[in-house]
Amino acid sequence: MLLGADTPKHMEYSATSNISISLSSDNESEFRSYFENLSAGGSDVMRMDKAPWGDIFGMCIDKYGVPWLVNVSAQG
């Protein structure tokens, strides 16, 4: 589920500078594929790898400038 909202008139609008979208699952192969597709044409901030908290984690920016956080929960 992805929820979003527009910027109210009383707030200054700044495109994608205030958000990151986070994806979480326990399906590593599916989420590695998502990461590769999201980073294609964009850039890798942090390649998907084992994180200090035990999950597989990566960060990228897609070709539209949107930051993504992709986390695969550790099994067990």
CATH number of 21-72: 3.30.720.110
Q: Which two tokens stand for residue 6?
A: 């527009």
Quick one: pLDDT at residue 58? 96
Summarize pLDDT for 9-46 with one digit per residue, the tens. Answer: 887 776 656 788 999 999 999 999 999 999 999 999 99
pTM for the full model? Answer: 0.78
SS3 58: strand
SS3 75: coil
